[in-house]
Amino acid sequence: MMTSGDVESPFAMPGHDHASCIMTALDGAEAICARRGERLTPLRRRVLELVWRGHSPVGAYDILALLQSERGRVAPPTVYRALEFLCRQGLVHRLDSLQAFIGCGQPGNDGDGRHAAHFLICQDCGTAVEVRDGQLDGAISRLAGRTGFAIADETIELSGLCAACQS
Ligand SMILES: [Zn+2]
Ligand SMILES: [Zn+2]
Ligand SMILES: [Zn+2]
Q: What is the pLDDT of residues 153-163, one digit of tens each?
A: 889 999 999 99
CA 51–ligand 2 middle distance (angstroms): 13
pLDDT of 1 reads 45
d(CA 163, ligand 3 centre) in Å: 7
Query: Which phi and psi (to 5°) does residue 23 adopt?
Result: -65, -45
Q: Which ligand is nearest to the CA of 120?
A: 3
For ligand 1, the distance from its centroid to the CA atom of residue 58, given in whole angstroms, is 14
Q: Are 55 and 127 in contact (CB under 8 A)?
A: yes
Q: Give the residue among 47, 56, 45, 50 at the shortest CA–CA distance from 79.
A: 47
pLDDT at 167: 84
Q: 129-150 burial, b for 16+ CB within 10 Å, e for fewer?
A: bbeeeeeeeeebeeeeeeeeee
**Domains within the chain, CATH numbers bracketed:** 19-106+114-166 (1.10.10.10)
Q: Using DSSP, state whether 39 is helix, strand or coil.
A: coil
pLDDT of residue 41: 97
CA of 30 to the centre of ligand 1 (A): 18
pLDDT tens for the chain, 167 residues long, are 445 557 778 887 777 899 999 999 999 999 999 999 999 999 999 999 999 999 999 999 999 999 999 999 999 999 999 999 999 999 999 999 999 999 999 887 665 556 889 999 999 999 999 998 999 999 999 999 999 999 988 899 999 999 999 98
What pLDDT is stored for residue 13 in this prediction? 78
The Å distance, Cα 102 to ligand 2 centre, comes to 9
pLDDT value at residue 2 = 47
**What is the length of the chain?**
167
Half-sphere exposure in the Cβ direction for 7 (13 Å, CA): 10
pTM comes to 0.89
Closest ligand (CA of 124): 3
122 phi/psi in degrees, rounded to 5: -85, 125
Judged by its nearest atom, the ligand closest to the C-alpha of residue 17 is 1
